[in-house]
Chains A and B, each alone.
Chain A
Amino acid sequence: MVRFLTRTRGHAAWDWTDWAAHLYLVLGVLVMFGPVLWLGMSSLKSESGIQAFPPTFLPYEQVSVDVEGRGKLKLYRVTAGEFAGRELGEVRRMGLQVQLVDPAAPATLIRVAVGDREPVMHLRAAWDNFTGLFSQFPFFRYLWNSVFITAVATVLTLLVNSMAAFALSKYRFAGRDPVFLLMLATLMIPPTIVLVPNYLIASQLGLTNSPWGVIWPAVATPTGVFLLRQYMLTLPDELIEAARMDNASEWRIYWRIVLPLSAPALAVLAIFSVMWRWNEFLWPMVVLSRSESFTLPLALNAFQGELTTQWNYLLAMTVVTLLPVTVIFAFLQKHITQGIASAGVK
């Protein structure tokens, strides 16, 4: 136990602490990622697959057959009795018996006890859970709202915060340091504290039920200003003076010199901003009350109350919501973790 705590990068052969560490991590992955995987698998199940209990891991679905004169029938395998081993379509259930029919000979009905037959399953991903989102719900609307808010808020966040960071890192003016401290102080005022008055302000500005109601309050972030300012401080002042000598206006210096050179910090902030806006819940819930202005998280929350029976759509919608973040993470994992570790924020 003791050695387990302190060993860092030994080169010796594996001892029990190495086994314990790896075991812990494998279990950890099971707990951390297993639920997400389970969600993904579940979202591919048909409605009946979802209701099956005990559930299967893979998306199985009962095979259907087209039977002449009787339409689509579910296929069962008879397990006992005279017809054991045959695969038959079920016509109807009558008390403790079912009427089955051989797809090859649709004229004759066969009666079997309910317990003597089991469904014939095959693997099939129910993609219609996803396509159904678009045809059966105003899902495209929610998706668009989320994308619009995320994209616009991120662009504005980068612009507004980098402008402030530029002034705070590259200008000397009376009141600069108080302004910076004031901005940092807003870190202490989480949105939950100002929920009620912000709702008043948003409604007075006519921002309720509008994507701008989510975008504007999010545009100025102390984290973003801090992150960008610290980065811009490392850019040599001589570059800016050179640009000044090159007859560049201050605005041009900002966007042609400082902005491109701050790309790494801007990228970190962009990732943060996308995550914040895409995932945001409480404030949008307060400011967006009409369903056509809902973002994906709001729509999810609304449906989980209404559609308890339609888990297949709810799960598909959940997957769509986590997909963009997952894809970004898969590609930018290193940058995200490094950015977060160095900034100490999320």
Chain B
Amino acid sequence: MKLLAALFAFLMNLPERPMRWAQGRLAGGRLGWVFVAPNLAVFAVFTFLPIAIDFHYALSGGTNLLPAERPFVGGENFATLLDCVDHFDPNTCRRDLFWHGVWNTMRFVGFQVGLMLGFSLLTAIVLNRKIIGRGFFRAMFFYPVLLSPVVVGLIWKWILQREGVLNAGMMGVGAAPVNWLLDANWAFFWSVFVSIWAHMGFYTLILLAGLQAIPAEINEAAAMDATPPWRHFRRITWPLMLPSVLVVLVLGLIRAVQMFDEIYVLTGGGPGTATTFIVQYIYKTGFADQVRQYGLAAAASLLLAGVLLVLTMIQLRGMRRG
């Protein structure tokens, strides 16, 4: 331990000389640039530059990874993605998988965010009561949040497999076993369920913090006014926690739109295309297909980025108002 501390001290002393030199050259706060430089460099290389390349890819064709060797095709990639006879029927689209992804994602987002918000709210309200072992319960509801998406996917795959514990339970009560992940509707249901299971603890925590931020005096004042409980909730609790509900709603939307990892492990996007979402389309088109169509993947990324941008704007506006 002591050795480790000494090593750390030694390493941290290394930049001393160059930094002192820089300090001598840079007057005032300009040394600040030196301190932000590593961070900015990483952002520049892995966030800002990629955005620019994204646009280049989206506007160029071919399967070459090197930007210089990709022919400019204008909006062709977008046109390809958006080309449908009937946008509501993915099978009539040139990139049917993309549109399956779009509609699945929208359906998923609707169910997942709505239900998750409901359960998180309910759990937060329950946890805000005088509960025996509240810390334990809070921890239990939160625990899955920490798990790797791959672990989450595998846990549920193990439970839902044909000879899994759930089917054993079904037979125990006399029902027929179901091939949970091979039936399109059930697979979609479990995608929603598992993603709620894995993430609701996080949102519960935010809502609980919002609830606990309501000063006790306000509740006591309302009690002194003999406010009926339902009215108390509608007129006092709900308006005061509305800001955190909004945060949860928008954060939940932003995350749900990008859902991929755990569902990919759980269902692989199947059966068929039943649980293929947009991000999986991007991954598949750019990295998993035999012919890697980076242009299409980048175009899809940018479309997704547009959606996320709108959601973030809504969030910022909501936060400013809150």
Q: Indicate yes or no for A touching B, C-beta below 8 A.
A: yes
Q: Report A-chain residues with C-beta under 8 Å of the C-beta of B175.
A: none
A291 close to chain B: CB less than 8 A: no
- Please tell me which stretch of B78-86, B88-96, B157-165 contacts chain A, meaning at least 4 of its Cβ atoms lie within 8 angstroms of it: B157-165
Q: How far is the CB of A300 from chain B (nearest CB, A)?
A: 5
B273 close to chain A: CB less than 8 A: no
Task: List which B142-175 residues lie within 8 A (CB) of chain A.
Answer: 142-151, 154-159, 163-165, 168, 171-172
Q: How far is the CB of B62 from chain A (nearest CB, A)?
A: 13
**B261-304: contact bitstring with A at CB < 8 Å (1 yes, 0 no)?**
10001000000000000010011001100000010011001101
Q: Indicate whether A322 sits within 8 Å of B147 (C-beta atoms), given known contacts A173-B29, A201-B45, A217-B42.
A: yes
Q: How far is the CB of B84 from chain A (nearest CB, A)?
A: 23
Q: Report B-chain residues with C-beta under 8 Å of the C-beta of A297.
A: 148-151
Q: How far is the CB of B160 from chain A (nearest CB, A)?
A: 10
Taking chain A's interface residues, is the majority helix, strand, or loop, or is none over half, making it mixed? helix
Q: Report B-chain residues with C-beta under 8 Å of the C-beta of A64.
A: none
Tell me the bound Cα distance from A269 to B32 in angstroms.
22
Q: Report A-chain residues with C-beta under 8 Å of the C-beta of B129.
A: 7-9, 17-18, 21
Complex contact B158–A39 (CB within 8 A): yes
Q: Indicate whether A21 sits within 8 Å of B159 (C-beta atoms), given known contacts A216-B42, A301-B150, A344-B206.
A: no
Complex contact A195–B142 (CB within 8 A): no
Q: Report B-chain residues with C-beta under 8 Å of the C-beta of A346.
A: 145, 202
Taking chain B's interface residues, is the majority helix, strand, or loop, or is none over half, making it mixed? helix
Q: Report A-chain residues with C-beta under 8 Å of the C-beta of B3.
A: none
Complex contact A25–B126 (CB within 8 A): yes
Interface size class of B (residues with CB under 8 A): 35 or more
Complex contact B23–A176 (CB within 8 A): no
Q: Report A-chain residues with C-beta under 8 Å of the C-beta of B229.
A: 2-3, 5-7
A279 close to chain B: CB less than 8 A: yes
Task: List which B8-63 residues lie within 8 A (CB) of chain A.
Answer: 12, 15-16, 19-20, 23, 28-36, 38-40, 42-43, 45-54, 57
Complex contact A197–B298 (CB within 8 A): yes
Which listed residue, A6, A22, A32, touches B141 by the CB 8 Å rule? A32
B209 close to chain A: CB less than 8 A: yes
Complex contact A196–B297 (CB within 8 A): yes
Q: How many residues of A contact B (CB 8 A)?
A: 103
Tell me the bound Cα distance from A321 to B149 in angstroms.
11
Which listed residue, B19, B38, B251, touches A250 by the CB 8 Å rule? B19
Q: List 23 A-B contacts (CB under 8 A).
A: A2-B230, A6-B232, A8-B130, A10-B130, A21-B131, A24-B126, A25-B126, A25-B127, A25-B137, A35-B197, A38-B155, A38-B165, A163-B36, A183-B39, A189-B51, A193-B304, A195-B301, A199-B287, A252-B16, A314-B154, A318-B155, A321-B151, A346-B202
Question: A193-B54, A337-B138 given. 17 additional CB < 8 A pairs?
Answer: A8-B130, A24-B126, A32-B197, A33-B140, A171-B31, A171-B35, A183-B40, A193-B305, A194-B46, A200-B66, A201-B45, A216-B42, A251-B15, A251-B19, A279-B146, A340-B205, A346-B145
> Chain B residues in contact with chain A, CB under 8 A?
12, 15-16, 19-20, 23, 28-36, 38-40, 42-43, 45-54, 57, 65-67, 122-123, 125-132, 135, 137-151, 154-159, 163-165, 168, 171-172, 197, 201-202, 205-206, 208-209, 219, 228-230, 232-233, 237, 247, 251, 254, 258, 260-261, 265, 279, 282-283, 286-287, 294, 297-298, 301-302, 304-305, 308-309, 312
